[in-house]
Amino acid sequence: MSHPSLNAIFERCTEEGDCWLWQDGVNGAGWPSISIGGRTQYVRRVVRGMMDGEPVPARMRVPAKCGQRLCVSPYCSIVCTHRTSHRMAAERGAFGRPDAILRTTLRQRAQSAYSDELVSQIRTSEEDTATVCQRTGMSSSHVRRIRSGEARRDLSNPLNGLGARA
Ligand SMILES: [Zn+2]
């Protein structure tokens, strides 16, 4: 195709806050791509160039502040050096880990047959493991794992599960 208008690109996205999430073609690495005059180009870079009124220099990167690979929004993209772009990605990685733990914990919790009330009662009670097993039907290893925090991590303390266990 010839050079697309900003509107033509916007129409191929779904809007999510400031983000424009590209719904059309991506390259092998999953980056929104578009063929202009027979050349494959990154959509985010094309949009940035249109907003700035001049093409983004080839040596510069165009990361999205939101961290979403499919986002081509000019409200999210910035022009920066490779070094800054790498730092942004590393910072996102550092904050990505608690998210992953939260997702895993919520998934495990959804699969668990025991209520949160029961779990917290088991954690605070003075009963020995065998008594709890008899009363609840839980296996002794599960009771031990709940009490140690390995199972049913307490999400009210963000440091749990991050290696900060006392
Ligand atoms: Zn975005």
**pLDDT digits 0-9 by tens, 29-69:** 899 999 999 999 999 999 999 999 999 999 999 999 999 99
Q: Distance from the CA of 99 to the center of ligand 1, in angstroms?
A: 18
Which residue did the predictor score with more confidence, 15 or 137?
15
**106: which 2 tokens?**
């919520």
Task: Provide the total of helices (H) and of strands (E) in the chain, helices listed first.
Answer: 6, 4
Q: Which of 39-48, 68-77, 113-122, 152-161 has the lowest average pLDDT?
A: 152-161
Q: Distance from the CA of 2 to the center of ligand 1, in angstroms?
A: 25
Q: How far is Cα 11 from Cα 94, in angstroms, rounded to an integer?
A: 34
pLDDT in the model for residue 102: 60
Q: Distance from the CA of 65 to the center of ligand 1, in angstroms?
A: 7
Q: Distance from the CA of 126 to the center of ligand 1, in angstroms?
A: 50
pLDDT in the model for residue 165: 42
Amino acid at 22: W
pLDDT in the model for residue 22: 96
Instruction: Kindly tell me the burial class for residue 69, based on how many C-beta atoms sit within 10 Å of its own C-beta (0-12, 13-18, 19 or more).
Output: middle
137: Cβ contacts below 8 Å, ≥ 6 apart: none
pLDDT in the model for residue 23: 97
Is pLDDT of 17 > 50? Answer: yes
**98: which 2 tokens?**
């608690």
Is pLDDT of 70 > 80? Answer: yes
> Helix H segments across 112-157?
116-124, 129-136, 140-148
Contact 4, 34 (CB under 8 A): yes
| Phi, psi torsion values for 20, nearest 5 degrees | -110, 110
pLDDT in the model for residue 76: 95
